[in-house]
Amino acid sequence: MCGCDQATIEGATLARQSAGQPGRHSPNALLRAWQRLLILIVGVGALIVIAIMIGPGLPSRAEGVVITPATAAPVGGEGNSRNTLDASLSVVAASTPTPFSPTATPPQLAPPTRQLAPPSTPTTPPQPPLPTPTPLTLVEAPQTAYERVTAAETAVRSGTFVATIDYDNGVRSTTSVRFVRGGSALQARFHISSLYRGATATRANERVAIGEDLWEREGEDPWRACAVPGTAGRCDRVTNSVGSLWTQVQFLLPQLVLVPPATVVERGGELQWYDATLEADATLRIDPVNGTPTVLRRVMRSTGWTVTVVYGGWNAPTVIDPPSGAGAR
């Protein structure tokens, strides 16, 4: 080694650094260089983001953004690396991307050269014809036996009734009635025959009424015309008029319309009730087909007498003629 002093050695070292001779790399210098590079990259990214957000407001090219290398070159390899990094940053800063324009016309798609066929309409299979609806028929609720009998009584126009009264001592009377109630074009007609059989005697009576003409006879005696109105006698026109005779026929009817329905009991094809007017227990058989009465039986509670009425020819055609050999009066 030479016998140079310390000042001479330091001067030689500085001379080498000034002359650009390579020397030992400093770790602190490399760290500072990487920090500058990171800061520049972050700054450039921020500028790009701002340019995209601002759009047309930015200039088309960046102006005056140039990073120049340092005037003093570092010692050895550090100077070369720094010069290369500074030059790269200058190129990145000088090139500015094209800003985004929201008003730019979007690219137009070319029309398709192949025509698409319209979708085919599905074919619906033929449907079978709907059945013709059957018209509804209103079915009335079936009438009760009480309702059928009262309706038959109201509608009766003709018939043949036979009534029998059995007394308590073997005495019996029978009355046969044939009648036509008549109407606007038909005269009312009645033929009533009565037979009384007592313990010691028998008596018969017969009467015919056609409109205003009345006849009567006793047993087998000849027919005779009834007396003028108001004249005393069995053949008085007042008591034997058609109105009076119809009242007698009504007595033979069940007259169920006068009985409260709640008091009528139906049992085994028969109707049973209490007749308060006659103080009698009544039982009525009815025709199951048309609901007309067939047999009526009344038992008087006070006397024990029994009245039985057999109904026939209900609303059947009935012929009643004047008695033969008798003249009208």
Write out the two tokens for 301. 């509670």
Instruction: With respect to residue 235, please indicate whether it lies within any of the assigned structural domains.
Output: yes
Q: What is the DSSP string of 111-147?
A: PPSSPPPPPPPPPPPPPPPPPPPPPP---PPPPPHHH
By C-alpha distance, which of 66, 58, 61, 136 is closest to 96? 61
Is 327 among the domain residues? no
Per-residue pLDDT, 233 = 52
Distance between CA atoms of residues 320 and 217, nearest Å: 16
Name the residue among 148, 163, 328 with its Cα closest to residue 256: 148
Does residue 189 share a domain with residue 44? no
pLDDT, tens digit (0-9, with 9 covering 90-100), for 185-221: 788 999 999 999 988 889 999 999 998 888 889 998 9
CB 216 within 8 A of CB 234: yes
Supply the pTM of this predicted model: 0.55
Single out the residue in 60, 94, 128 at which a domain terminates: 94
pLDDT tens track, the chain, 329 positions: 455 555 555 555 544 554 444 445 566 777 877 788 888 887 777 778 777 776 655 444 444 444 444 444 444 444 554 555 455 445 444 455 555 455 556 556 556 566 666 666 667 777 777 777 776 665 555 689 999 999 999 999 999 999 999 997 889 999 999 999 987 778 899 999 999 998 888 999 999 999 888 888 999 899 988 765 545 555 655 566 778 888 889 999 999 999 999 999 999 889 999 999 889 999 999 999 989 999 999 999 999 999 999 999 999 999 999 998 765 55
CATH number at residue 169: 2.50.20.20
Domain count, the chain: 2
| Residue 113 belongs to some domain of the structure | no
Query: Is there a single domain that holds both residue 81 and residue 149?
Result: no
Q: Are residues 207 and 291 in the same domain?
A: yes
Closest CA to 293 of 272, 312, 268, 274: 312
Written as one string, the DSSP assignment of 22-79 is: --PPPHHHHHHHHHHHHHHHHHHHHHHHHHHHHGGGS-SS--S--PPPPSSPPSTHHH
Whether 173 and 285 map to the same domain: the answer is yes
Same domain, 160 and 274: yes
pLDDT digits (tens, 9 = 90+) for 212-250: 888 889 998 999 887 655 455 556 555 667 788 888 899
In this prediction, residue 120 carries a pLDDT of 67
Range of the domain at 238: 145-312
One domain, residues 85 and 158: no
Last residue of a domain, one of 54, 70, 94: 94
Residue 274 lies in a domain: yes
The answer to whether residue 211 is domain-embedded is yes
pLDDT at 71: 46
Q: Do 54 and 165 lie in a common domain?
A: no
Q: Is residue 181 part of a domain?
A: yes
Are 90 and 149 in a shared domain? Answer: no
Quote the CA–CA distance of 207 and 218 in Å, as a whole number: 9
Is residue 1 in a domain? Answer: no
- 215 and 76 belong to one structural domain: no
Q: Are residues 40 and 159 in the same domain?
A: no
Q: How far apart are CA 319 and CA 328, in angstroms?
A: 18
Domain boundary, last residue among 67, 94, 121 = 94
53 with 173, same domain?
Answer: no
The answer to whether residue 226 is domain-embedded is: yes
- Interhelix angle 77-94/27-54, rounded to 10 degrees, is 0
